[in-house]
Chains A and B, each alone.
Chain A
Amino acid sequence: MTVKDAVDEERRCFLRRATITAGSVGLLASSIPFISYWLPSVDTEAAGEPIQVDLAPLKPEQQLTVVWRGKPIWVIRRTQWMLDSLSKLNNFLRDPDSIDDQQPPYAKNIYRSIKPEFFIAVGVCTHLGCIPTYRPDVGSISPEWLGGFYCPCHGSTYDLAGRVYKNVPAPKNLEIPPYGYINDSLIIIGEDQAPAQTKKV
């Protein structure tokens, strides 16, 4: 091989690498529109906007279900008796202190809500996604039952703060969505604070 051949080889090698690199960058970049196309479109995001819920019509123990981003959201008005029962159950629960990141910081308390009276949660079982039933009646699921939620698909149970029991298939407490109080009887679900304009339910 002459000197010129060696230089040629080197140049060819460099050019080949440079071109392949540039070409790969181009190919990767051209995949961007195909990936962004799959992101929720502007109208899909608009449909997922936060919703307002009026708490005034709720009677004690009543459960209201609304839909936000395609999922059922429960709004339950708890009685004082229900709230008092929560502290008795800590030994039976998998995560009584809500260590797992299933709730916003303001719901990281024994009531798992901003105000104890109203419980707002995503009504989807953390096991495999069924919608649990609301069973506030004492002694209905078992003799020691103090009220809570029972999932009919595989038997998972939760207390009236959505905390999951031990020895059931579900691994985590029910998820609490971001929400906030616009005023004493109006909440907005989907956002931490109340903004200027939203859809009313």
Chain B
Amino acid sequence: MMKGMLLFILMLLSTMVFSQEEISIALEKAPVNIHDTASIKRGAVFFARNCEMCHTMIYLRYDSLAIKSGVLYSRMPINVKTWPLNIRPPDLSLEASRRGVDWIYTYLHSFYLDTQRPTGWNNLLFLNTAMANIFAPYQGQQIRLPLNEVGAKIYSRAYQWYDLLELQTPGSLTPEQFDAVITDVVNFLAYASEPYKIDQEKLGYWVLGFLIILFILIYRLKREYWKKLEK
């Protein structure tokens, strides 16, 4: 028990020196609901106002929900050639399929102040990200806690982003309001990856329902014929 504690403290001390190293954190479960069309629309409006100046969504060009919410192909930075830090912001049409909604939800919560970065910001999930923290006005400004302040409280489970970050300056939204906004955004991104999903589920019920009926009929027919063989 004592040896364990000693080992643990030594580990903590060693991590103090490298306070900006990548720590593997658990992903927070994003409370997305693709059936909530109102949420998706709010997310689209937020995207049009805050994200579309840098991120394209080229595969939503003809999507009616996107167009109605203001996410317009004509306003996307498709032909912009030069970007800060020479890194092009990725197209987000399929990001939810690529990384998963939980990853994105956690990522959008995990920005913190870092004066050593050119943007002034860093991110727990994507270390040294080139993305500026456009959420700062809404979420507020977070700082990263040194590990020795964190470790003792929660060594029994994996780190969550909120274990490692602390809100230093509040933004225009309370944490709950900010969570709701980010849920809307992630909902929209999930929709953008698979806009056909609701039709897919609905059609699935009909198809499987029909097949079950067909199965009952054909199984009984098969039994009728095979029964004869017992004789």
Contacts and interface: CB of A to CB of B under 8 A. Distances in A.
A and B touch in the complex (CB under 8 A): yes
Interface residues of A, number: 15
A22 interface: yes
B224 A19 contact: no
A43 B61 contact: yes
A18 B224 contact: no
Interface stretch (A8-16, A159-167, A187-195): A8-16
A43 B224 contact: no
Interface residues of B, number: 12
B209 to A, nearest CB: 11
A39 interface: no
A42 B65 CA distance: 13
Contacts of A19: 214, 217-218, 221
Contacts, number: 31
B13 interface: no
B155 interface: no
Contact of A12 (B61, B213, B218, B224): B224
A6 interface: no
A197 to B, nearest CB: 10
28 contacts: A11-B224, A12-B221, A12-B224, A12-B225, A15-B217, A15-B220, A15-B221, A15-B224, A16-B221, A19-B214, A19-B217, A19-B218, A19-B221, A22-B210, A22-B213, A22-B214, A22-B217, A22-B218, A23-B214, A25-B210, A26-B210, A26-B211, A26-B214, A29-B210, A42-B62, A43-B61, A43-B62, A46-B62
A26 B212 CA distance: 11
B74 to A, nearest CB: 11
A185 B135 CA distance: 48
A11 B210 CA distance: 22
